[in-house]
Amino acid sequence: MNRHLTLSERPALEPRWLLPAIDALLAFLAFGVAYVMRYEMQIFPLAYDPPERGFVPYIPFAAVYAILIWLNFHRNGLYRNIAGRAWLEEVYLIASGVAVSIVIVLALFFLLRPLFTSRLMLVYVTALTVFTGALSRLIQRWMLAYLRHQGIGVRRVLIVGMGDVGRSLLGIMLTRPEFGYRPVGFLDDDSQKAAAGMGRVAALGGTGDLAAVISRELIDTVVITFRWKHYDLIQELTDVCRERETDLRIVPEIMQLNIRQVQVENLDGIPLLGIGAHRSMSRANQMLKRSIDILVVILGLPLWAPISLLVALALMLEGDGPVIYRQARVGKDSRLFEMLKFRSMVENAEDLHEAMLRESGEDPRHPKFVDDPRVTRVGRFLRRTSLDELPNLINVMRGEMSLVGPRPPTPNEVELYEARHTRRLQITPGMTGWWQVRGRSNVPFDEMFEMDMYYIDNWSIAMDIEILMLTIPRVFLRSGAF
């Protein structure tokens, strides 16, 4: 186990020297490509064009530039594997480092006054370095995410304390497996929480079982979420982790207020924590989200309308009921609406629902039946390909649903909700969402709820686009659909 990671860092799979070496090499090569673009290709020919010179005189400047890139990227923190840092933030840091480096190279041109300089070539170098640096980070993210989805480089995490913060932390780890943390269980002295579990994340006992659980479950990292008023207990748990040489993380008590209400500022080295209301779903954002929904549905009309006609024709030929199935669902602010789907079951499917719940033992808040005998032959294909949900686009146009959001529950499911679960009903429900692209139908209700909370607390246009893009391969690969 790596014992020297800072609290903000995630485990690194690649060698520490690899990314700096790639950046320096790409910066050096940028000079070579820029030389070709400037003198060989002459993409933007100048009225006064100096005679072509060889690349050799540029090599010292290219070497200095590569070193400057490494130094400035290091200064900007690009070689710290900070969990949760956005790709666009990395691109900004790359552009900042490139700007400083290129200004220094330009200053060297003016000081040394070589006869072969080309300021246009430096423009090419700048653009190429930013592009290749951003692309390399994107490729790195894809590779790390793939490896961690395969279980490589993943740290096994035990959460101690399953209160509000513990559940939020669990939701983040389940939603963002690319961070490299896999929650294998939790400890809590509350017998009700310990008996219930959290979906596929098991309750492993109380705090007194910490030492045994660390050994039995091969825990890499323990995260304590208790308030500081439990200082004596936290100290005991800390001592156990130290004896077992296990990494320990403690959530600061300030985070107990509300993780999304805390903003961090830096006043000349002094950290300031601001506490305020976090509203990712403000009225303006809701209007923006609604506008994008309408635009996407209209632009996609030439694609989904012909497919809908073919599906309707197949259902009519099969017979056995109407083409469109209508079901009461609970939408934003607990308002009922009629959700539209292509019929995929026999006509008396609702009458058989309760009996199937009793026989299968499925969670009535989020029941999913594998090999459901009520599904028709055409309906089975529609469900596997998610084509049965195409009429949801009509609900989107009506404003009853969005393209992305929590899946709308039935009134019977809502009756079984605890008070905290009603937060799912604070925003417009969607056709797809976080839990659909992370696990689709095989996600238990408790995990689904935490993923929905993560989406609500972290919503952005970029997040919606990411979910929509991830939905496409999920549908084509038929992953997790029943």
Which domain-ending residue is among 130, 149, 168?
149
Give the other-Cβ count within 10 Å of 474's Cβ.
19
**Looking at the domain assignment, is residue 202 inside a domain?**
yes
Q: Are 148 and 178 in contact (CB under 8 A)?
A: yes
pLDDT score for 275: 55
The CA distance from 433 to 467, in Å, is: 6
Q: Quick check: 188 and 206 in contact, CB under 8 A? A: yes
The first and second tokens of residue 293, run together, are 């929904």
Please provide the average confidence, as pLDDT, over all residues in the chain.
Answer: 81
Residue 5 maps to a domain: no
> Looking at residue 232, what is its pLDDT?
86
Taking the CB of residue 166, how many other CB atoms lie within 10 A of it? 23
**pLDDT value of position 116:** 66
Strands (E), 146-292: 155-160, 181-187, 202-203, 221-224, 247-250, 262-267, 270-275
Is the Cα dihedral 302, 303, 308, 309 positive or negative?
positive
Q: What are the φ/ψ torsions at residue 468 (nearest 5 degrees)?
A: -60, -40
Q: How far is CA 46 from CA 38, 39, 51, 371, in A?
A: 10, 11, 12, 69
Separation of alpha carbons 167 and 171, rounded Å: 6
Domain end (from 149, 168, 188) = 149
State which residues form the domain around 464. 283-477
Residues 389 and 331 in one domain: yes
Confidence band for 448, pLDDT divided at 50, 70 and 90: confident
Residue 51 lies in a domain: yes
Q: Is residue 12 part of a domain?
A: no
Tell me the residue type at 329: R
Q: What is the pTM of this model?
A: 0.60
Predicted confidence (pLDDT) per residue in 172-223, tens digit: 888 777 778 889 999 988 877 766 667 678 888 888 899 999 999 999 999 9
One domain, residues 300 and 405: yes
pLDDT for position 385: 85
At position 358, the amino acid (one-letter code) is R
pLDDT of amino acid 6: 40
* Whole-number pLDDT of residue 294: 95
Using CA atoms, how far residue 233 sits from 161, 237, 269, in Å, is 11, 6, 32
Please tell me the least confidently modeled range out of 39-48, 60-69, 126-135, 281-290.
39-48
Categorize the per-residue pLDDT at 441 as very low, low, confident or very high, splitting at 50, 70 and 90.
low
- For the chain, what is the domain count? 3
Let me know if residue 2 belongs to a domain.
no
Q: Which of 246, 275, 304 lies at the terminal end of a domain, its last residue?
A: 275
CA atoms within 13 A on the CB side of 360: 17
174 and 233 in a single domain? The answer is yes
Helix (H) or strand (E) holding 455, with range, is helix 445-458
pLDDT tens readout for residues 133-165? 999 998 988 888 778 777 777 889 999 988 878
The residue with greater pLDDT, 265 or 475, is 475
pLDDT value for 3: 41
Nearest to 442 by CA among 413, 474, 480, 408: 480
What does the pLDDT look like over 239-266, one tens digit per residue? 999 998 888 888 865 555 555 555 666 5
- Answer whether residue 482 is part of any domain: no
Q: Do residues 137 and 245 share a domain? A: no
22 pLDDT more than 60: yes
